[in-house]
Chain A
Amino acid sequence: MTHRRILYFVLFAATQLLQAFLFNNLTLSVWFNPLIYVAFVALLPLETPHGLVLLGGLAAGFAADWFMGGAGINTIATVFAAFVRPFLLALLFEKENIREGGIPSSERLGRWGFLRYLAVFVLLHHFVFFALEALSWARFGQTLLRVAVSGTAAVALTWLAARLFTSKLTVRV
């Protein structure tokens, strides 16, 4: 159990550092801004109490804001994603399945199930972030393009992170 906690701490630190020192400084394209720190919230164990997921989201969002110089935008998006996570899981999977707990991953939820969960979760988070950043309906198309490009990259990176992460842990409790 403590082993798992330490690994979650490592996941939190690794995603934050990658975000701050690599992805925040990318100058590849205006559309490419994957927010991979959200992987920490996405991969929290299924049995984590709702309140704790919310606090996890708060920690991840606050840290990302601090590194990015954001005035709350990452916190708003991440806490929102953390809040809807249990409802999203309930919508996509059977109740008993979720209640059994474990780490969200291909092995635990099935390849397509896991991918679907990641896609909806990450895109929701990215949508809130980029919509708040633009704060304009006039450029809604541009916002959607940002969500699509950056979100897809973030889903792929989170999927990779999950592969690495679960290779060190058993996915069932």
Chain B
Amino acid sequence: MYKLLEFIRSTYVVLLFVVIEAVAFRCYAHSSAYTEARLLARSNEVAGSVHGFFAGVKHYFELGRENRLLTARVAELQTLLSEYRSAETEARLDGYMDGNAHTQYELTTAAVVSNSINKQRNFIVLNRGLRDGVAPDMAVLSPDGAMVGYVVECSERYAVAISILNTSFRASGKIAGSDYFGSILWDGSDPYRVTMAELSKYAEPQVGDEVVSTGFSQYFPAEIPIGTIERVVLNEARTAYTVDVRLAVDVSGLGDVILVRNNDLHEVETLRASDKVKELNERP
């Protein structure tokens, strides 16, 4: 017994080390981007207001630039609106709106509380949460409407979004004006570029082409700008292109964002999970 105690006394540091590392490794091995988002949402319940304070100070110095962007955006939208007005008489436009009380997408805004680009899994914390009607799966767009990420976890007052600069981020993108699509992902090395992989060999991508979202994703509406093509590489088997896309958004300079709720998401999900669809899927 004494010998056992003596042995433990002489090796307790090694034992302690092995036990702590084993537990930590177990936690880390079982984690995903979603686990991290959940943990981050929990810590922001406490630390969020301090993050918010610092973000506010930083935001203050970027107001000028943001205002210029917004004014440009308003001008752009007003031009569009005037085009619609001249195409339709106002009365008909009103009648058109009346028939469509249900809109698929609802927009709201939020400010960035904390944001990073220096990790492999980057997240953006926003100052709107469940009590403001923000929920997981909402799309996050920059003030000028470019793809930024989507919400994965919410607390009462804050939301955590997975950034497009997160190696676990996935979305589908296509070349504007065509129907060929590929998957958008970040390789962790450049905050201004993402990769569009598995683009069909028939797509004929050209440098300078615009890349936008497809409508397939449960998060993003169709035609959301992602970026422009900068480099095109045909894979060795000559079956698909891998394309470097220069992002439309500068994630490091985000102050405010637009959140998009897909009102039809629940309905689509319910349909997908219906017994008939399941039955078809399970058929050999």
Nearest to A51 among chain B residues (CB) is B13
B13, B54, B189: the one contacting A50 at CB < 8 Å is B13
Question: Are A142 and B37 within 8 A (Cβ)?
Answer: no
Which of these binds chain A: B78-86, B113-121, B271-279? Answer: B113-121
8 Å CB interface, B37-73 against A? 37, 39-41, 43, 47, 50-51, 54-55
Inter-chain contacts of A70 with B (CB < 8 A): 36, 39
Q: Does any Cβ of A come within 8 Å of B145's Cβ?
A: no
Question: Are A25 and B54 within 8 A (Cβ)?
Answer: yes
Question: Are B24 and A139 within 8 A (Cβ)?
Answer: no
Number of interface residues of B (CB under 8 A): 45
Q: Does any Cβ of A come within 8 Å of B97's Cβ?
A: no
Question: Are A69 and B118 within 8 A (Cβ)?
Answer: no
Main secondary structure of the interface of B (DSSP, over half): helix
Residue interface bits B206-222, CB-to-A below 8 A is 1, else 0:
00000000000000000
Question: Are A21 and B117 within 8 A (Cβ)?
Answer: no
Which of these binds chain A: B15-23, B133-141, B174-182, B261-269? Answer: B15-23
Taken together as a complex, chains A and B put the C-alpha atoms of A79 and B25 apart, in Å, by 11
Question: Are A21 and B51 within 8 A (Cβ)?
Answer: yes
How many whole Å from A140's CB to the nearest CB in chain B? 12
Question: Are B27 and A71 within 8 A (Cβ)?
Answer: yes
Count of A-B contacts with CB under 8 A?
108
A54, A66, A72: the one contacting B25 at CB < 8 Å is A72
Which of these binds chain B: A2-10, A28-36, A99-107? Answer: A28-36
Taken together as a complex, chains A and B put the C-alpha atoms of A33 and B37 apart, in Å, by 19
Nearest to A74 among chain B residues (CB) is B24
B39, B117, B189: the one contacting A27 at CB < 8 Å is B117
Residue interface bits A1-44, CB-to-B below 8 A is 1, else 0:
00000000000000000001110111111111100000000000
How many whole Å from A145's CB to the nearest CB in chain B? 9
How many whole Å from A126's CB to the nearest CB in chain B? 12
Taken together as a complex, chains A and B put the C-alpha atoms of A51 and B55 apart, in Å, by 39
Q: Does any Cβ of B come within 8 Å of A47's Cβ?
A: no
Chain A to chain B contacts (Cβ below 8 Å), 16 pairs: A21-B54, A24-B114, A24-B116, A25-B55, A30-B188, A33-B119, A51-B13, A54-B16, A67-B43, A71-B30, A71-B31, A72-B24, A72-B27, A72-B31, A76-B24, A83-B13
Known: A22-B54, A28-B118. 13 other contacts (CB 8 A): A24-B116, A25-B114, A27-B252, A30-B165, A30-B191, A31-B118, A33-B116, A58-B20, A69-B39, A76-B21, A80-B21, A133-B120, A133-B121
Chain A residues near B (Cβ < 8 Å): 20-22, 24-33, 50-51, 54, 58, 61, 65-73, 75-76, 79-80, 83, 132-134, 139, 142, 150
